[in-house]
Structure 1
């Protein structure tokens, strides 16, 4: 008899949240493989709601897979407390972010480290950082890379020379995208530029100011499009310029979506994982270098063809089917320990 799995999340489509999208994709892939899986999605995660969640989840499934963090949790402590409570279920926590947490967040994460039966990280660097703080979790943790939340298409005839793709909020690289376009000077005016973006509630002032700036720079604004529409635009884009403030990592779903749809990724070199991404994209260290590399890639696409094709092959290899299979293997192992 197969285990019943419950994916616990504070965000789920149509909410604007990458981890919410991840939850939906994982759930769908599990079901396609015949896994008895359902979602537990609630909006109220105030501390006063913990007992209600506990009552609902206490015997609701054989295994719960908690996704953390999500926009819907709003930084509240309830998910941590829920993991520490005596549920009948085995507990898997997918910890999408650890190293960037503040002191309080890292201390609260110890509740996951102590009480979860297994912890999934989405990048080796994140797992290594957590294992340095809690060495005992090395034996009950693993890395499962994320997949793209955007469908993937075969590359089409280019309609866009340079595009930014992602959530429209601070800290995602959009400010740097503007800086790179400015560094291009008059040469940017000869390019077909686009922003393929999703607006995020709560960041209206940032969104309005940024969109006005981009509009004045001649950037076409393609906002709040469906996943299929985004895939169509990305698959007809020469260069996806994604200058993440902390560099590209395997946790960047927007980078995977761009590469998987055949766009050349031009991005910021990370402090970790740079060797992994060598040959999959074009990495540079400064705004000026990013501007020059982008212009060069548009002018001479054959020079970066191998990186574009390698990036596309890598992103397309991370299928949700394989991700769901990996989770199913984890479920089987921890259920085996129960037996």
Structure 2
């Protein structure tokens, strides 16, 4: 099949949706499909990419409809997959209307939307219910919908969205086969060798609970636990500058808690150095405010690197997650419970080893080959429908 992937962000611009699109495109290509990506002009060229990238969009507004229509009609895809996350499109609503508009150019070509989350766009002041309506309109106007997690699946099924598939995301950072051990990784990155290190991966966004982790780490240090915290990755996503205020609040809190000498920040680094950082830490703490979910690329990366993961109780049951076996779960927004979980993992080598083994086994379910095969099945299922 000739498959066109549309995304609001794409490497070398940092962002989880862009990284996901790149990995999915490569996996689909490896399965024998002809794949290309359409995105905007930010970030420049992805040098050496085996997947063609058409940077035809100036801004994600109504003008993007015409630019996409002309380019896609010339390319003649057998299917179109729109990666949707409101922030990646500047919180505007133009792409929420795009599948309905695209019929002018694409006719019977199946259009599928992957919802990376169900957060609503801003649209305009006092848009109110229109924001929620725009997301549902996007889902209903597509030929098929993919969600990445159990919670979003339940939400869309409850409002009658069909046909609907749940296809998980994979890790955007693939660990190399020769990843060194913790001590060597710390030496290469100039991390301390004299204390346990807790890792946190991802942009600073209120939903990820970095401020909760700061409180937990500070409490453990006050107890006399020699501890360091490593923030792996960039601080703020270029596609969502609204995160700046939260990041600033976290930095102020670091000073207020006296944690300046206990925190290391890698910043945006190549994937090889991100993997080194994962290898260097003793565990990963990901205290999401809205509960752990398979839509979180940060979780997938920690699992892929075989880290012991502490996260928060999901909003809806996730059968694949087994508390104490492949993840350790605590209530959201509870620094005390988080501190206790961190202490228990650091003091109990058997628990840590069990969580690491469970994480590696769970990560096998999110291999890109398997994800690409499921996306392929979605388009195969839609062919006779059209």
If the length of structure 1 is used for normalisation, what is the TM-score? 0.89
Asked whether 1:241 is paired with 2:285, we answer: yes
What is the CA-CA distance between 1:205 and the residue it aligns to? 5.0
Are the equivalent residues in 2 in contact too, given 1:4–1:36 (CA < 8 A)?
A: yes
What is the CA-CA distance between 1:111 and the residue it aligns to? 2.5
The DSSP-based 3-state class of the residue aligned with 2:207 is: coil
What is the CA-CA distance between 1:209 and the residue it aligns to? 5.1
What is the CA-CA distance between 1:121 and the residue it aligns to? 0.7
The DSSP-based 3-state class of the residue aligned with 1:199 is: coil
The DSSP-based 3-state class of the residue aligned with 2:208 is: coil
What per-residue deviation string (whole Å, max 9, x for no partner) do you get for residues 193-216 of structure 1?
Answer: 311121324244543553462761
Residue equivalent to 1:40 = 38
What per-residue deviation string (whole Å, max 9, x for no partner) do you get for residues 90-129 of structure 1?
Answer: 1011111127778433311233333211111101221111
- Which segments of 5 or more consecutive residues in structure 2 lack a partner in the other structure? 41-57, 122-127, 187-195
What per-residue deviation string (whole Å, max 9, x for no partner) do you get for residues 115-161 of structure 1?
Answer: 211111101221111111125x1xx1111011010112567235452
Of 93, 115, 132, the residue aligned with 1:106 is 132
Are the equivalent residues in 2 in contact too, given 1:7–1:38 (CA < 8 A)?
A: yes
Shift in alpha-carbon separation, 1:78–1:255, aligned structure 2, 3 A? same
Partners in 1 of 2:129 and 2:349 — Cα distance? 45
Partners in 1 of 2:211 and 2:224 — Cα distance? 16
- Which segments of 5 or more consecutive residues in structure 1 lack a partner in the other structure? none
Asked whether 1:255 is paired with 2:281, we answer: no
Partners in 2 of 1:51 and 1:100 — Cα distance? 24
Asked whether 1:320 is paired with 2:335, we answer: no
Residue range with higher mean Cα deviation, 115-124 or 298-307: 298-307
Residue equivalent to 1:301 = 349
Shift in alpha-carbon separation, 1:241–1:114, aligned structure 2, 3 A? closer
> What are the within-5 Å matches in structure 2 for residues 1-80 of structure 1?
3-42=1-40, 43-58=58-73, 60=75, 61-69=77-85, 71-80=87-96
Asked whether 1:280 is paired with 2:326, we answer: yes
Are the equivalent residues in 2 in contact too, given 1:155–1:262 (CA < 8 A)?
A: no
The DSSP-based 3-state class of the residue aligned with 1:94 is: strand
What is the CA-CA distance between 1:5 and the residue it aligns to? 0.7
If the length of structure 2 is used for normalisation, what is the TM-score? 0.79
Partners in 1 of 2:383 and 2:74 — Cα distance? 15
Residue equivalent to 1:148 = 171
What is the CA-CA distance between 1:217 and the residue it aligns to? 4.7
Are the equivalent residues in 1 in contact too, given 2:85–2:119 (CA < 8 A)?
A: no
Are the equivalent residues in 2 in contact too, given 1:165–1:197 (CA < 8 A)?
A: yes
What is the CA-CA distance between 1:300 and the residue it aligns to? 1.7
What is the CA-CA distance between 1:170 and the residue it aligns to? 3.2
Are the equivalent residues in 1 in contact too, given 2:120–2:135 (CA < 8 A)?
A: no
- Structure 1 runs (4+) deviating above 6 angstroms are 99-102
Asked whether 1:92 is paired with 2:132, we answer: no
Partners in 1 of 2:311 and 2:78 — Cα distance? 42
Shift in alpha-carbon separation, 1:105–1:245, aligned structure 2, 3 A? same
What is the CA-CA distance between 1:27 and the residue it aligns to? 0.7
